[in-house]
Amino acid sequence: MKTKFLITLLAIGLLSNSTFANTTNAKDPEKDRVLIYVLKNILGRFHYVKKDLNDDFSEHVYNSFIDGLDPSKRYFTQEDLKEFSQYKYLIDDQLRQSNIDFYKLVYGRFLEKMKGAKNTYRTLLANPFDYKKKEFIDVDYDKVPYAKNKEALKEHWRKQLKLSVLSRIEDAENQQAEKLKKDKDFAKKSFSEMEKEARAEVLKNMDDLYLRIEELENSDWYSTFLNSVVSGFDPHTSYMSPRIKSRFDQDMSGKLEGIGARLQKKGIYTHIVELISGGPAWKQGELEAGDIILKVAQGDGEPLDIVGMRLDDAITFIKGKKGTEVRLTVKKKIDGSIKVIPIIRDIVELEETFVKSSTVEKDGKKYGIINLPKFYIDFNDTDRRDAAKDMEKEIARLKKEGVEGLIVDLRDNGGGSLKTAIEIGGLFIDKGPIVQVKYRGEDPLVKNDTDPKIQWNGPLVVMVNELSASASEIFAAAMQDYKRGVIIGGKQTYGKGTVQNIVPINRFYADYPDDLGVIKMTIQKFYRINGGSTQIEGVYSDISLPSRYSYMDFGERDLDGALAWDKVPQAKYNTTNSYSNFGDVVYNSKQRVMNNIKFQKINEYAKWLRKKQDENTYALSYDMFKKESKKRVDEGKKFKDVFKFESNLTFESPKYELDLFKKDTVLEEKRVAWHKNLKKDIYMNEALNVLSELKMSTNHIAVKH
């Protein structure tokens, strides 16, 4: 079995292919061989798709790398592309020979262009633009051609910067108009004053951007090239540096070891943005949002100055193992004083990652709502909390409160652990198949829930949207195929039906002294128990509700290189016959939605958004810019209150949380805000309508034999 070569992690959540990774040095021939090994052996042997390294593959790497460096076409010209094109169909041959001449040429040219860019934008922003000149800019950079030469490139820069300045002038004018309404004596600024301030703002933003760019090293850009190569297999295969892998683990487990603070780089300083409720810094009590960290010391060690340090590097010094001490030299926001704050690091749980629940009464009956943001798990410590354990516990708590129906909210849930998806599915059936998985060239494997315990056998509604993906789609599809729950939400879910595995590159270079990172690789596709793939198609809702995404180019089907839809034989299972009135409930909801003025307006809004998605040209004369902007604003005004809704329902925390609130007021504030949003959530309101109508069947079995 192929899996003996792979670690047993099945990470199927949606992840962005990070372009920045502090790992591979293109000048190190040993690391060059790592790249070739990954391509020829790991990906070649284990990726779900057998990919030939041919001219088509070479062209993908060529386009992907150039676009990765210059997505807005600010640096390269057609003259550069002509020179680069000598390698367009040779990159596959170069990779076989450990040759990276293409990378060296493009990256070297990129560095040259970057150096000149700072002078270009500063020169252009030194004086006012001609705001009467009738001209336009197209911001659809996928279709806009590269500038012909240096002069044309400077013109491209000029238009981009002018658009940014125009936008800020307009904002300033609008703010000024609002202030005049409130204060007739407000001192109005002239156009020239607002224009000068707008250019200064754009200049500062550009300087800040290039400050961050200049922190990146050769190894960061080489990683962009590496991801251009591995993404040639499919959109979800990527290289992760040790730093990115650490973030991935944190995201999957919902925990980290450190001080419990969110940090942000502003200029040369590292700022505290937020303290994580219940974390070490929050408990210690001296650190506050807005404080600036100047130095970091490990216990009694010598303080390290982090001013000007890139944020990722600063974080590595601030984070650390549970029980160790870090001493932060901090400039306090409140009075500017300098203070040394000692903090004992600990495990920090990211509360927003985890399951949360609410109760609500409707027509004299109490219902439970469980929000699951992701299918989380700690792969390094399976004894710790995970989504399945927490879901089981949360359902038990809601049952104690006497809920008569349950909503599982998977909206915006991008996935996570396959293991927890299977186990959560098992909470709603006796036992039986939940999903099928298939390796390249092999028969599908049926993954079963083997635990006969049913944690919830009452009415079930599953909420999804176009961002519900991967593990979310496994669970929703299983509940739909068993007819165990009603699926309500967007027309179809995201459509990610592939499974990724994490393979440490050092496994194949055990003696290499540095951590080489990992390859996140697509090794399987998964299929519903009815045999159909969720790849591309996703899960079609039983009850489709209009949303802002209804007509957008969105989801797996719109990704370049996405694997195709297919099907396998159906697994052996019996439907649960859970409801005596399933068809009637679905019909009633569809009629309500069709006749609901609010949903009609949302549908109209979605069509308008789709139309606006195709409008990428802006006028650059100020009068025309304002005229077009006013037209867009006026069109948008009729949709201003499109999502404005308020039910007469009251959402409350389950009783066990009330004791927690006495110790954690931040958690209480977050729950109050969530409950207010639920009250204003038209989708939740309709889900509750559906739940309240469902009637359990007398021959409900929830079982497979």
Task: List the catalytic residues.
Answer: 470, 481, 496
Best CA proximity match to 684, nearest among 366, 355, 371: 371
Mark out the alpha helices in 254-299 (DSSP H runs): 280-284
Q: Are 19 and 244 in contact (CB under 8 A)?
A: no
Q: By C-alpha distance, which of 296, 293, 304, 290 is closest to 270?
A: 293
Token output for 394: 């949360």
| Residue in 459, 374, 460, 368 with CA at minimum distance from that of residue 412 | 374
Rounded distance between C-alpha atoms, residue 497 and residue 523, angstroms: 11
Task: Quote helix, strand, coil % in the chain, to nearest 5.
Answer: 45, 20, 40
* Rounded-to-10 torsion of CA 24, 27, 29, 35: 30
Name every residue whose Cβ is closer than 8 Å to that of residue 57 and which is 6 or more positions away in sequence: 51, 91, 92, 232
Tokens standing for residue 79: 């003259």
Phi, psi of 262 (to 5 degrees): -90, 130
- Calculate Rg over the CA atoms of the chain: 28
According to DSSP, residue 490 is labeled: S
Cα(240)–Cα(106) distance, integer angstroms:
22
Contact 470, 13 (CB under 8 A): yes
Tokens matching residue 457: 């056998």
Cα separation, 476 vs 497, whole angstroms: 13
Residue type, 669: E
User: Any alpha helices (H) in 571-663, and if so which ranges?
Assistant: 582-595, 597-613, 622-637, 655-663
Letter for the amino acid at 632? R
Structure tokens at 223: 């990683």
**Which DSSP string do the residues of 64-96 spell out, in sequence order?**
HHHHHH-TT-SS-BHHHHHHHGGGTTTHHHHHH
C-alpha dist (Å) from residue 31 to 24, 98, 394, 503: 6, 10, 48, 16
| Amino acid, res. 616 | N
Contact 147, 73 (CB under 8 A): yes
Residue closest to 146 by CA, chosen among 67, 65, 57: 67
CA pair distance 371, 360, nearest whole angstrom: 14
